Structure 1
C-alpha cells in the first residue's frame, strides 16, 4: 500500500501532472511533422527555383541563337541517298580548291597522297602531286636532315610549323584542321557551304573587332576567317565555271570525302546486303510455303485407348 502511494505521489513531487506527461509524446510528434513539412516545402521551392532558372536560361540561349546565328538550310546533295555515291569529279575539283585556296591557312594532317589514288587521281597523277612538295627527312649517313620530294606515303603539308605559329599569323585564332570538319560541325556539309557563301555586312548594333568578319552562320556572328571564295578565283582543269557557289560545293564535297573516305564502300555494302537479303527472303518464303506446308496442314486427332 505504501509503495503504491509513493508511485502516485512521484509525479506530484516532480511538479508534473498526469496531463502534462500524456501531452509530451503528442507535442514531439507534431514538432517532427512540422519539421518534415517544412523540409518538403523547402525542397519543392528549391526545385521550382532551379526549374525556373533553367527555363529562363534556355529561353535566353534560344533567343541569342536566333539573333546572332542562322540555322543552315538542308541542301539536296547528290550523295545523301541511301545508295548514292560521292561525285568524284566534284571531289577532284574540291581538291583543287583546297590546294590553291584553303591550304594557305588550313592543314589536313590525316590525309596522305596515296589516299587520292583511285578516288580523284590516278597513281601517276597522285605521285606528281606529291612530288610538288618538299619533305624534311633523315637523318642521312652523315646524321643530317635533308629535303626530298614528296612520295605517296607522305601526308598533306601543314602551312605552319606548329599551333603557336598558326595563332600568331591569324591574330590569335587557330585555323582548324579540315580533315574531319564536316563530321565535327553541326549541320555538316550544309553548314560549310552556307558558311563559305554567307559573308555579309554586320547588322546595325553589331560591332566587330579588328581582324573579324561577319558571318550569320558562324556561332556569334564574328569570325576571324576572311571570305576566301570569290567568282573565278581559280580555274578548274576540266573547264567548269568557277563561280563562288561551285567552288563552295566542290570543296565541301571534297571535305565530305576526307571525313568519310569509306563513304562509297559503305554504300556498296548496302547494295550487296540488299541483294543478299532479297535472295535469302525468297528462299525463306519458299521453305515456309513448300517444305513446311505438309507439317502445317497436318491434322492431329486425339483418340482414347478404349475406342
Structure 2
C-alpha cells in the first residue's frame, strides 16, 4: 500500500511538472514579448579604438597605461569606491620601486589603533596595508551617494560581462535622454516616459537599467594630469582606468596566458612523441608477424 501511494504521488508531481513546462512553453511561443526601455536603448559594451595590449593571443601589460589608470583611480574614483582586495605593495608590479611604494602608501590614511590609548585612529599607510575604503560603512556610503552604495572596484572587471569594455563604455556613455534615440528615432521620453531618470539619477545606455546613481566621474579633459605627458581626454582616462581595474581583478592574466601556451606546446610535443612511439612499437610487431 505504501509503495502504491509513493508511486501515485510521484506520478502526480511528474504530471504537474510536465503541465507547468508545457504551459510555460506555450506562453513563450504564443505571447509577444513586451518591449522595455532597457531592451530598446541598452547598448553593448565596446573597447576603445585600438583595444588593449593585454587582449589577444600574446597579451602584455602596458605598464605606463596601468600607472595612468592608477592615477585616475587615486584622484577620482577613490573618493567613492573602495579597492579592498589590493595592497599597496602590489603596486610594485606596475613598475614602482620599493621606495615609491612606501611613499605612495604613506600618502594614504588607513584605519589603525593608537598603541597608547587603544582607540581607533587614522595613520599613514604601510606597503602591507590594503587600499582604505572612503566610507566607514555602507550606511555612510549610501547617505553620501543618494542611497546608492558605490561598489568595490577590486574585481569589477571580473564581475561584469566583458568587464574591461563595460567599464570603458560606462564611463564614456553618459548621454542626454532627450537627444539619444533608439532605432526608430524616438527619444527615451517619447518611447518610455516612465523610464526617464528620476531625481539624482543619470541616463547611461550602457548601464543595465539605463539609470545610474553615479554622476559622470570623468567629465572634463585634463581632470587628471598625467606624469608622462599623455593628453588626459575623457576617453583616455576611461581607457586607462579600465585597464588598471583589469589588472586589479586579474594581475596574473598575462602570466596565465603565457603558461597556457607553454602547456599547449608541451601537450602537442607529448602527443607527437606518443604517436612516434606507437608507430615504432607497432612497426616492430608487424615485422615479427610477417617473419
TM-score range, shorter chain: 0.7 to 0.9
1:72 is aligned, of 45, 53, 72, to 45
Q: What corresponds to 2:267 in structure 1?
A: 277
- 2:170/2:207 contact within 8 Å kept: yes
- 1:112/1:155 contact within 8 Å kept: yes
Give runs of aligned pairs for residues 100-179 of structure 1, distance below 5 A: 100-179=75-154
Q: 2:247, 2:262 → 1: CA distance?
A: 21
Aligned residues: 260
Q: What corresponds to 1:211 in structure 2?
A: 200
Is 1:180 aligned to residue 180 of structure 2? no
Q: What corresponds to 2:58 in structure 1?
A: 83
Tell me: higher relative CO, structure 1 or 2? Use CA pairs within 8 A at least 6 residues apart: 2
1:246 is aligned, of 236, 239, 244, to 236
- If you compute each CA radius of gyration, which structure gives the higher value, 1 or 2? 1
What TM-score does the superposition give when structure 2 sets the normalisation length?
A: 0.79
Deviation, 1:267, is 1.8
CA distance 1:267–1:48, shift in 2 (3 Å): closer
- 2:60/2:254 contact within 8 Å kept: yes
CA distance 1:44–1:272, shift in 2 (3 Å): closer
**Which consecutive residues of structure 2, in runs of 5 or more, have no partner in the other structure?**
1-14, 179-186
- 1:68/1:220 contact within 8 Å kept: no
What TM-score does the superposition give when structure 1 sets the normalisation length?
A: 0.75
Q: 1:71, 1:59 → 2: CA distance?
A: 20
Per-residue CA distance 1:201-249 (angstroms, 9 max, x = gap): 0134143212111111112211111111132111111111111111111
1:234 is aligned, of 224, 241, 244, to 224
Q: What corresponds to 2:214 in structure 1?
A: 225
Q: 2:222, 2:211 → 1: CA distance?
A: 26
Q: 1:164, 1:171 → 2: CA distance?
A: 11
Q: What corresponds to 1:13 in structure 2?
A: none
Q: What corresponds to 1:36 in structure 2?
A: none
- 2:111/2:121 contact within 8 Å kept: yes
Per-residue CA distance 1:78-108 (angstroms, 9 max, x = gap): 3222331232221111101100111111111
Q: 1:137, 1:235 → 2: CA distance?
A: 31
Aligned with 1:148: secondary structure? strand
Kindly report the root-mean-square deviation, in angstroms, between the aligned alpha carbons of the 2 structures. Answer: 2.8
- 2:47/2:164 contact within 8 Å kept: no
Q: 2:163, 2:67 → 1: CA distance?
A: 19
